[in-house]
C-alpha cells in the first residue's frame, strides 16, 4: 500500500497547506550548519510528494532556526510543517543523519 501524499499528511496533522508556498525566498538565507535544503525547498518537495523533503539532512539540522523562521508571507507555520515531516520521516523509517565525529570537525 502506498503511503499518503506528503502534502496530505502535513495538512491532516497541522492544517497547513504546503502547496501555498509562493517561493518568495523569505527563508532562503535561513541555513544552519549541515542543512542541504532551505525551508522553501522542503515545502516544495513535500507539496510534490518528493521524498527528499523527509530524507534531507535539513529536516533534522534546522532546529536552531525554527524559532527564527519568522512569519511566512503565505501564512504557513513552517515549524509545525517541519515537525510533521519529521514525524512522517520516522514513520516511514527515515531518521536523522548520524552525528559528525568530533575528529572530523
Q: Which of 20, 9, 100 is nearest to 61 (CA)?
A: 100
Q: Which of 78, 62, 64, 63 is nearest to 24 (CA)?
A: 78
Higher pLDDT, 66 or 104: 66
Give the tens place of pLDDT for each residue, 12-27: 999 999 999 988 878 8
**Do 61 and 35 meet the contact criterion of CB atoms below 8 Å apart?**
yes
Instruction: Report pLDDT for 17.
Output: 96
Give the tens place of pLDDT for each residue, 8-65: 999 999 999 999 998 887 887 788 888 999 999 999 999 999 999 999 999 999 888 8
Other Cβ atoms less than 10 A from the Cβ of 97: the count is 14
Q: Name the residue ranges covered by the structural domains of the chain.
A: 6-91
Mean pLDDT value across residues 86-91: 96
Amino acid at each position: 500500500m502506498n503511503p499518503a501524499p506528503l502534502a496530505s499528511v502535513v495538512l491532516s496533522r497541522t492544517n497547513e497547506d504546503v502547496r501555498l508556498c509562493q517561493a518568495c525566498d523569505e527563508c532562503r538565507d535561513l541555513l544552519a550548519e549541515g542543512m542541504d535544503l532551505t525551508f522553501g525547498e522542503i515545502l516544495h518537495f513535500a507539496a510534490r510528494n518528493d521524498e527528499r523533503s523527509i530524507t534531507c539532512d535539513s529536516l533534522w539540522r534546522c532546529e536552531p532556526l525554527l524559532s527564527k523562521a519568522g512569519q511566512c508571507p503565505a501564512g504557513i507555520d513552517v515549524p509545525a510543517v517541519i515537525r510533521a515531516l519529521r514525524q512522517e520521516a520516522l514513520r516511514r523509517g527515515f531518521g536523522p543523519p548520524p552525528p559528525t565525529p568530533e575528529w572530523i570537525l
